[in-house]
Amino acid sequence: MTLLRHISQKLLINNIKTDTRYKINNTCVACVRLLNYTPKEYDTKTDPAPLFFNKEVQSLLKSLTRVEVAKVFKKRKLGEKRLGDPEFKFMTQEQLDVKLKKAQQKAEELLQIPPVLAVHAQKNKVYSQDPALQGLESSRFVFTDITFGVKDLDRLIVVRELDGTLKDAEWELRNRVNHVYFPRSGRSLKPPRVFEDGYLEDLLNRREYEFVLDLACSQFEPNEKDYQRVTSIVFQHLSDNDGFDLLRSTRHFGGLVFFLVWNKSIDNLLLDLIESSHVDEANKLMELYGKIHKLNYEFDGKLKAVRQFIEKDSTKRGALELAVQAYEELQKQKEQLESGIKAAHGIL
Amino acid sequence: MAVQLLNVTKILQKLTINSKCRIAPALIKNVNENVIHKEVILTNSTRNTNFFNKLPAHDLWKGITSVSNAGKKRGRGKNVSKKNIKDLNRGQVIGVGKANIVWPGLSAPIIRGKELVTQHQLPEDPERQKKLIELRDKMGTFKYAKLSPIERGWSGTKMPGRSIGPPDPIGEDTFDGFDTKVLELKTVFNMKGNFGRKRRLSVIVVTGNSNGMAGFAMGKGLEPKTALRKAKNRSAQKLMHIKIYKNHTVFHDFFTQFGQTKIYVSQKPEGYGLVCHRAIKTMCEVIGIKNLYAKVEGSTNVNHIIKAFFLGLTRQKTHEEIAEEKGLHLVEICKENDFFPTVIASPKEVKKAEDISKDEIIDYHQYCFNGKVVYKKKRHPPFYTKYKSYELYLRKQEKLRNQSDVKKSLIAEYGEIRSFLADKYPECVQYRRPKREEPEPEVEDE
């Protein structure tokens, strides 16, 4: 890996080829790509949205998230200098049940999976063309409709170009103008430099996946290119470095599974599930895979579907086969032990 | 008759052998008055006995370096101390001096080999005088070794607050990981008919392994060292277990009292520190409590504070005990958890809402403080807030209210603090003082 990276760096230096494709909007920073991952956006040709919002898919994704309430409400740093004093209370069973029920509802809200959408297409509607205005001004003019109650997405924002054409603003400009007039908390006018490759790589190496994904969620819209660039890189890095446990019981796990299934790279996740002997989850993953890629697997409550997958579609065949074998041996040993115990107790 | 006598004396004066007695002869006096006048002035009477050669050296030294008992009572000689005595004889040997002379039989052997050593002078040693002066300068200027800030106690070079190490091992049992800290060191007197006033030192120390085991004890002795040792070893005999919640704080808030010393202790989250009386802080360090707030009300006698605090600590209940006693769930709610109700302890049988009597204390704080309420003073705004000038100050400061955030975001974005005009006018950058140029080391030509 390091060798590859070294070579790629050398190549970059030699050709002085900078990758301007992924420049952060508004800042004209040409970043040299150092990460080994290429972003994989959901393109408009095959829209993932109808599949993602399918009820069955949603329920599969949720069940794969493996929710633990204690983990959902784990202690977080709130950015204050001191931790607050915890409050202790005496409660009867009824009072506690009411509180727990509320927490459950809150957890469901917190675990809503960020929508998976295709990258939005550029708006290019031209409203008028006045060649007479050419050369009148030295900068573009932006006109915004700030009527109360209009959604950010539907707001009319147009630009008078220098050559006199009046057309829809591009997405980056729309975001900026929307933020200027209707700022949202947790979002900044310019995206933080954390999302640039050098800094992002550092964060990923520190396995701060949840932090990056949360920040991306608050900074970008789900159908923005930048959002999908960041999340896809994070998901790939996480999958390669076996960080699935870090995202379980968070809202991002569903998005991760969907991404892996969509890009046909579920092998690491499947390996993780089998090694931790979560067979039912492995089956659910196969079901999801079949649903999205329109494949038919046979389910028998054991590892039949997984075997079929390994034979046909797997890219990590050796490791998966070994894991399956190890799992089956373990099961056998367990059965033997149980029957032995039963025999010792004379239950047979 | 009288004239005869006078003549006799004059003759006797003439005959005196003492050359120092230059009293003018009577005859000349009559002949030349001028000469006589001069002679009288030239004469000088000397007294060969004085203060310095009448008293021996040790008495002279005593005079400077000590005060009589009576003098002490009057407050004389406050800076006089035996430490200030300089022994000028140190480093001086009979027979060795400035002129480097060899004295056979005194500073050298009489016979060396087969030859007789003769007295002779060696070249002068220039170092000798310097060494002597150095030796004398060292004497009389005693200084305490400077303590590092970590070793220092509550105040200056005083003992209270200082650590004196683990208690001495008993047989094969060693006190590994223990540390002892002094809480009080004072002189106490005892009056008896036959012995009179007797002075001793009384020391209170606390020892512990900073992991929930600690003990305190008092020791007395004539010397600080013995008193400290006694107290330290006695405290090791009185160890007790103390419950620490999550290895950093007390199990719950509590009120404790000994005599007129009342202490309200509050549990605090991690990172809070020890905000309390210094004696309580020192005890907590030794016990292993890292976060706590304590308010001492009433007397702040250290002895009583120690007893009250240890009483309170040993009387702590675990959360299970509390839940069992109340018959209700004990639930922790904190904002870092997004107000999720974390059940800390549950009783075997939970009471129902109907079973709770009306006058039962349900509030956790009130339950912990046993119904007592901490007196919280009302905080008044500072005096200057009423001034006109403060209003003006606030008005002037208002434009700077966002400055620190802006600076931070600028540094995050551009790596420096810069003007919005910097793109157009590159000279619009933050002024940085140029680094002082270090003089280049001179290179010697070879």
Per-residue pLDDT reduced to its tens digit, B381-400: 999 999 999 999 999 999 99
CA nearest A12: which of A40, A36, A29?
A: A36
Residues in chain A: 348
Instruction: Say if residue B386 is in the same domain as residue B414.
Output: yes
Q: Is the pLDDT of residue B75 over 90?
A: no
Instruction: Output the pTM of the full model.
Output: 0.72
A230 assigned to some structural domain? no
B6 assigned to some structural domain? yes
Per-residue pLDDT of B410-442, as tens digits, reads 888 888 888 888 888 888 878 888 888 877 666
Number of folded domains that form chain B: 3
Contact B306, B204 (CB under 8 A): yes
Residues within 8 A of B (CB atoms), A 57-86 only: 69-70, 73-78, 82-86
Q: Kindly report which listed range (B75-84, B270-279, B416-425) carries the lowest average pLDDT score.
A: B75-84
> Could you give the CA distance from residue A217 to residue A237 in angstroms, rounded to a whole number?
18
Per-residue pLDDT of B295-312, as tens digits, reads 999 999 999 999 999 999
- Percentage of chain B with pLDDT > 70? 89
Per-residue pLDDT of A183-194, as tens digits, reads 999 899 889 889
Number of folded domains that form chain A: 2
Output the pLDDT for position A11. Answer: 45
Strands B274-275 and B292-298: parallel
Residue, of A28 and B183, whose pLDDT is higher: B183
CA nearest A284: which of A51, A40, A61?
A: A61
Residue A144's domain comprises: 126-169
Kindly give the parts of chain A with pLDDT less than 70.
1-35, 348
Last residue of a domain, one of A136, A169, A202: A169
Instruction: Say if residue B386 is in the same domain as residue B434.
Output: yes
Q: Which phi and psi (to 5°) does residue A308 adopt?
A: -60, -45
Output the pLDDT for position B7. Answer: 64
A48 assigned to some structural domain? no
Task: Nearest chain A residue to B338 by CA: give it.
Answer: A73
Q: Which residue has the tokens 């490759």?
A: A197
Distance from CA of B323 to the nearest CA of A (A): 8
Question: Which residues make beta-bridge pairs with B185?
Answer: B203
Distance from CA of A298 to the nearest CA of B (A): 42
B75 assigned to some structural domain? no
The token duo for A37 is 């991952």
Phi-psi region of B322 (alpha: psi -120 to 50; beta: other; left: phi over 0): alpha
* Mean pLDDT for chain B overall: 87
B194 assigned to some structural domain? no
> Could you give the CA distance from residue B365 to residue B325 in angstroms, rounded to a whole number?
15
Instruction: Say if residue B424 is in the same domain as residue B400.
Output: yes
The token duo for B211 is 């992991």
Largest Cα–Cα distance of chain B, in whole Å?
142
Q: Using CB atoms, pick whichever of B334, B352, B353 lies closest to residue A87.
A: B334
Which ranges in A206-316 belong to alpha helices (H)?
209-219, 225-240, 244-247, 252-262, 267-275, 279-293, 304-312
> Could you give the CA distance from residue B237 to residue B230 in angstroms, rounded to a whole number?
11
Q: Kindly report which listed range (B71-80, B175-184, B401-410) carries the lowest average pLDDT score.
A: B71-80
Q: Is the pLDDT of residue B166 over 90?
A: yes
Distance from CA of A95 to the nearest CA of B (A): 9
Residue, of B442 and B235, whose pLDDT is higher: B235
H/E run at residue A201: helix A197-205
Q: Is any Cβ of chain A less than 8 angstroms from the Cβ of B230?
A: no
CA nearest A87: which of B249, B254, B345, B364?
A: B364
Instruction: Say if residue B10 is in the same domain as residue B36.
Output: yes
Q: Is any Cβ of chain B less than 8 angstroms from the Cβ of A192?
A: yes
Output the pLDDT for position B418. Answer: 86
A342 assigned to some structural domain? yes
Interface test with A, best of B293, B335, B408 (most A CBs within 10 A): B335
A58 assigned to some structural domain? no
A295 assigned to some structural domain? yes
B375 assigned to some structural domain? yes
Residue B37's domain comprises: 2-42
Q: How many CA atoms, within 13 angstroms, populate the side-chain half-sphere of residue B275? A: 11
